[in-house]
Amino acid sequence: MTQPTILLALPSAHARVDEVRNSSLELITLARSLGRVDVVTMGAPSTEVLALLGLYDVEAVHQAALPTAVPEEQQRVTSNLAAVMVAAARKVHADVLLLPNGFAFKEIGAVAALRLKAGLVTDAAGVRWDAPGVLHVAKRVFGGTWDTVAEVRTDPAVVTVQANTVVAEPVGVGVGGVGVGAGGAGIPRVEALLVDLPPCAVTVKSREVSRKDEGRPDLEEASVVVAGGRGVNGDFGPVEELADVLGGAVGATRDAVFEGWFDRYIGQTGVTVAPAVYVAAGISGMPHHVSGITGSGQILAVNNDSDAPIFEMSDFGVVGDLAAVLPQAAETIRAWRAGREG
Amino acid sequence: MRVLVLVKYVPEITSDRVMDSGRLVRDPAVGLMNELDEHAVEAALQLVEALPDEDARESSQIIALTVAPSTGDMAIKKAYQMGAERGIRVTDDAFAGLDYHGTAAVLAAAVRRLGSDDEGPIDVVLCGLTALDGLGSVIPAMLAEELGWPQLTHSRAVALGADGRSLNTTRETEESVEELTAPLPAVVSVTDAANEPRMPNFKRIMAARTKAVEEWSAADVEPFLEDFAPRVSVVDAAVHPPRVAGDVVVDRGEGGTVLANYLIEKGLV
Ligand SMILES: Cc1cc2nc3c(=O)[nH]c(=O)nc-3n(C[C@H](O)[C@H](O)[C@H](O)COP(=O)(O)OP(=O)(O)OC[C@H]3O[C@@H](n4cnc5c(N)ncnc54)[C@H](O)[C@@H]3O)c2cc1C
Ligand SMILES: Cc1cc2nc3c(=O)[nH]c(=O)nc-3n(C[C@H](O)[C@H](O)[C@H](O)COP(=O)(O)OP(=O)(O)OC[C@H]3O[C@@H](n4cnc5c(N)ncnc54)[C@H](O)[C@@H]3O)c2cc1C
């Protein structure tokens, strides 16, 4: 049987692709378990990026070449990015398209799926072949209370995958068996992907790329998240301090964001996270919020109300004032580290 | 202006949600209109109220549409309470358990049918950003694609352009904030930051009780319906074992240390 071809989108904030997000490496690792892996980029990948993709056994990089008349911000309109995915899928005869699970990519996947007459599954927590041509996609639904498996038989299938679904793992050079050969020492070849854009009536008047939380991992893909709620009372300092000691990302509840204390929130209408450790500080644990964290490994809570619902779903909890508990926890970890090194 | 609002009835988020044969069981006792759709209805009302011309305001129509079993009427009634004039529920055994593509296809057929009557074309379709049961956040984009209309999704602000024939929106996603514009007709989805849904007044609540919901079957939309055959099916559904609450300690001055030690002992630092 011929190897299925798995195509995935490699997001980049800038025109030049000079970094690969950890969530992309996870996606590639997952894709490799399904077949040979090709990636699509909007810009030119750097030498370092190509070397890294080689370590992950990527076969080829398809760099979209859009009509030059299309301005940069206009290229990122959903319809146009979907056109890129469709062109790539047709070019490589992709069996599966994998995309990250953010709101923007879900829409790109959705529009691409319609144009390809493909079945679409969002929020995947696992993907495998049940039989040749029969894709089984696992997904946790209803705030993490049910596990479902969706079956897609269309060719291709389109799937958006949650971060932290698999652990990113390179293959040893020459071990993977599929990527070797084509590009010499496992370096994927880069091919131009010609894209015809269908007419698009949406005009982008201005576009501002969201500021990333400097020096911290992306919230969606962090393996540690420390989040603050209304209980932080305007001061995210203790939350940020613990997050930084743990090398984690900072998150918030919608209420904390609506207060203007932080910019991004976790939950049904915000970001879904699935870190190994989630620390909820001054968060009551309302359903809209907790349905965005149920994929977490360990849930820890700090709240001064012993009846707060968050304790019912926590692996460990401290009833107390977060302004005292979090800095002490950060200090203890720093001291423990210093002790180990000293 | 003719504005169509898509509304969906969803189970209360705190209720125990149950699946049977891969489908969500919708218990009418524990549901409500998808909260994001209240923001969509509000956005529709505000678009019409902002029309400068009084005649244009008077002749405008806000229609609520759902593809759902009879429980869907609860969502339509909520739209009536807020100020929608007409409500349509599309129901047919053939439409039970539709996937994303099927849902978008049937919604598109209903939009085409409405646009072909003698009351004028639909100018705007407004939707919520996401339905709090399926959480797909894809139907608005797919409906726009089915109709061949521009999509202005994830809008935290919506306004009619000065020419009266276009919409300006602010789109906010995890990647960026964009100012977009597109000619009508267009599909718009709104976030919960777009507006504050109004409270229905007593008069409207009473009127909504007796106001009928139009029911359309597959035959009513069939002439406008293209392929809606399922492309995704649920083959397995099982209850996920609930999380068990772990230890909770009360801070007596050492709570932070205890928390840190828990992380250290578990090898998580
Ligand atoms: C349609 C809709 C969608 C929504 N989507 C989301 C979403 O995606 N994400 C989201 O987060 N919310 C969402 N919400 C809001 C959600 O329902 C809750 O209102 C929100 O999550 C509560 O935030 P909180 O826990 O910060 O605040 P609260 O519920 O007010 O809890 C604050 C907690 O802090 C504790 N506290 C106070 N002081 C201290 C202290 N000094 N030390 C320790 N603890 C302290 C209190 O005991 C309390 O438990 C949504 C709501 C709606 C209607
Ligand atoms: C837990 C769960 C998971 C699912 N996963 C998949 C999947 O991976 N792939 C798949 O193909 N199908 C899936 N489905 C089926 C899918 O949910 C239905 O097609 C549903 O009608 C639309 O998806 P949504 O609720 O996620 O809508 P969203 O895209 O989140 O809805 C956005 C907006 O569209 C409008 N809208 C959505 N549905 C309707 C409707 N029926 N009538 C009127 N307006 C509407 C509302 O304004 C809503 O606010 C799933 C269903 C459930 C319950």
pLDDT tens string A60-87: 999 999 888 888 889 889 999 999 999 9
State pLDDT tens for residues A267-311: 988 888 989 999 999 999 998 999 899 889 999 999 999 999 999
As a whole number, mean pLDDT of residues A237-257 equals 97
Q: In terms of domains, do A55 and A142 share one? A: yes
The bound ligand whose nearest atom lies closest to the alpha carbon of A306 is: 1
Q: Identify the pLDDT of residue B155.
A: 98
The residue whose CA has the least distance to atom 18 of ligand 1 is A286
Q: CATH number of the domain at A190, please.
A: 3.40.50.620
> How far is the alpha carbon of B146 from chain A, nearest alpha carbon, in Å?
8
In a domain, A200, yes or no: no
Q: Identify the pLDDT of residue A179.
A: 44
Q: How far apart are CA B144 and CA A79, in angstroms?
A: 10
Domain ranges of chain B: 2-224
Q: In terms of domains, do A98 and A165 share one? A: yes
Q: How far is the CA of A253 from the centre of ligand 1 (A)?
A: 6
Q: Identify the pLDDT of residue B30.
A: 63
As a whole number, mean pLDDT of residues A154-183 equals 74
Q: How far is the CA of B8 from the centre of ligand 2 (A)?
A: 9
From A273, A286, A293, A312, the mutation candidate for ligand 1 (largest count of ligand atoms within 8 A of CB) is: A286
Among residues A174, A194, A214, the one where a domain terminates is A194
What pTM value is reported for the model?
Answer: 0.91
- Per-residue confidence at A221, pLDDT binned at 50, 70, 90? confident
Q: Identify the pLDDT of residue B26.
A: 67
In a domain, A206, yes or no: no
Q: Chain A residue with minimal CA distance to B138?
A: A107
Select the residue of B149, B231, B237 nearest A154 (Cβ to Cβ).
B231
Residues with CB under 6 A from ligand 2: A 120-122, 141, 150; B 6-8, 24, 34, 36-37, 40, 66-68, 98-100, 103, 127-128, 130-131, 133-140, 232
Q: In terms of domains, do A253 and A128 share one? A: no
Q: In terms of domains, do A183 and A248 share one? A: no
Q: How far apart are CA A268 and CA A183, in angstroms?
A: 43
Residue A198 has pLDDT above 50, yes or no: yes
Q: In terms of domains, do A189 and A232 share one? A: no
Highest mean pLDDT among A166-170, A198-202, A317-321: A317-321
In a domain, A218, yes or no: no
Q: Using the beta-carbon criterion (under 8 Å), do A111 and B145 form an inter-chain contact?
A: yes
Q: Name the A residues in 18-77 with CB < 8 Å from any B CB.
A: 73, 76
Q: How far is the CA of A254 from the centre of ligand 1 (A)?
A: 7
The better pLDDT of the pair B41, A10 is held by B41
From A219, A225, A230, the mutation candidate for ligand 1 (largest count of ligand atoms within 8 A of CB) is: A230
Q: Identify the pLDDT of residue A180.
A: 43
From the candidates B20, B35, B239, B251, which should be mutated to test the interface with A, based on the most A CB atoms within 10 A? Answer: B251
The residue whose CA has the least distance to atom 41 of ligand 2 is B67
Q: Identify the pLDDT of residue A71.
A: 86
Which tokens go with B148?
């061949």
Residue A91 has pLDDT above 90, yes or no: yes
Q: CATH number of the domain at A287, please.
A: 3.40.50.1220
Q: In terms of domains, do A233 and A177 share one? A: no
Cβ-Cβ contacts under 8 Å, B101 against chain A: 113-114, 119-120
In a domain, A216, yes or no: no
Q: How far is the CA of A206 from the centre of ligand 1 (A)?
A: 33
Select the residue of B13, B134, B232 nearest A287 (Cβ to Cβ).
B13
DSSP codes, B213-250:
-EEE-HHHHGGG------SEEEEEEEEPPPPPP-EEEE
Q: In terms of domains, do A241 and A179 share one? A: no
**How many other CB atoms are there within 10 angstroms of residue B168's CB atom?**
18
Q: In terms of domains, do A286 and A168 share one? A: no
Q: Does A133 touch chain B (CB under 8 A)?
A: no
- Per-residue confidence at A340, pLDDT binned at 50, 70, 90? confident
Q: In terms of domains, do A179 and A259 share one? A: no
Q: Using the beta-carbon criterion (under 8 Å), do A313 and B247 form an inter-chain contact?
A: no
Q: How far apart are CA A268 and CA B134, in angstroms?
A: 11
Residue A175 has pLDDT above 50, yes or no: no
Cβ-Cβ contacts under 8 Å, B254 against chain A: 328
Q: Using the beta-carbon criterion (under 8 Å), do B250 and A320 form an inter-chain contact?
A: yes
Q: How far apart are CA A295 and CA A144, in angstroms?
A: 7
Per-position pLDDT tens, chain B of length 269: 999 999 999 987 767 777 777 777 766 666 789 999 999 999 999 999 999 999 999 999 999 999 999 999 999 999 999 999 999 999 999 999 999 999 999 999 999 999 999 999 999 999 999 998 888 999 999 999 999 999 999 999 999 999 999 999 999 988 889 999 999 999 999 999 999 999 998 999 999 999 999 999 999 999 999 999 999 999 999 998 888 899 999 999 999 999 999 999 999 99
Number of domains chain A is built from: 2
Compute the mean pLDDT over every residue in chain A, rounded to the nearest whole number: 91
In a domain, A313, yes or no: yes
- Per-residue confidence at A177, pLDDT binned at 50, 70, 90? very low
Q: In terms of domains, do A45 and A173 share one? A: yes
Select the residue of A104, A110, A149 nearest B175 (Cβ to Cβ).
A104
Q: In terms of domains, do A153 and A260 share one? A: no
The domain in which residue A118 lies consists of: 5-194
The residue whose CA has the least distance to atom 51 of ligand 2 is B134
Q: Does A315 touch chain B (CB under 8 A)?
A: yes
Q: How far is the CA of B95 from the centre of ligand 1 (A)?
A: 37
Cβ-Cβ contacts under 8 Å, B232 against chain A: 119-121, 150-152
Kindly report the CATH class assigned to B2-224.
alpha beta
Q: Using the beta-carbon criterion (under 8 Å), do B258 and A114 form an inter-chain contact?
A: no
From the candidates A23, A80, A101, A114, which should be mutated to test the interface with B, based on the most B CB atoms within 10 A? Answer: A114
Q: How far is the CA of A247 from the centre of ligand 2 (A)?
A: 36
Q: Identify the pLDDT of residue A214.
A: 75
State pLDDT tens for residues A228-245: 999 999 999 999 999 999
In a domain, A201, yes or no: no
Q: Identify the pLDDT of residue A176.
A: 45
Over chain A, what HEC string results? CCCCEEEEECCCCCCCECCCCHHHHHHHHHHHCCCEEEEEECCCECHHHHHHHHHCCEEEEEEEECCCCCCHHHHCCHHHHHHHHHHHHHHHCCCEEEEECCHHHHHHHHHHHHHHCCEEEEEECEEEEEECCEEEEEEEECCCCEEEEEEECCCCEEEEECCCCCCCCCCCCCCCCCCCECCECCCCEEEEEECCCCCCCCEEEEEEECCCCCCCCCCCCCCEEEEECHHHCCCCHHHHHHHHHCCCEEEECHHHHHCCCCCCCECCCCECCCCCEEEEECCCCCHHHHCCCCCCCEEEEEECCCCCHHHHHCCEEEECCHHHHHHHHHHHHHHHHHHHHC
Q: Using the beta-carbon criterion (under 8 Å), do B233 and A151 form an inter-chain contact?
A: yes
Q: Identify the pLDDT of residue B29.
A: 60
- Per-residue confidence at A172, pLDDT binned at 50, 70, 90? low
From A255, A310, A313, A321, the mutation candidate for ligand 1 (largest count of ligand atoms within 8 A of CB) is: A255
Residue A185 has pLDDT above 90, yes or no: no
Q: Using the beta-carbon criterion (under 8 Å), do B178 and A314 form an inter-chain contact?
A: no
Residue A17 has pLDDT above 70, yes or no: yes
Residue A183 has pLDDT above 50, yes or no: no
Which tokens go with B182?
């597109």
Q: Using the beta-carbon criterion (under 8 Å), do A110 and B145 form an inter-chain contact?
A: yes
From the candidates A212, A259, A325, which should be mutated to test the interface with B, based on the most B CB atoms within 10 A? Answer: A325
Q: How far apart are CA B6 and CA A186, in angstroms?
A: 50
Strand partners, B249: A318
Q: In terms of domains, do A28 and A138 share one? A: yes
DSSP secondary structure letter of residue B255: H
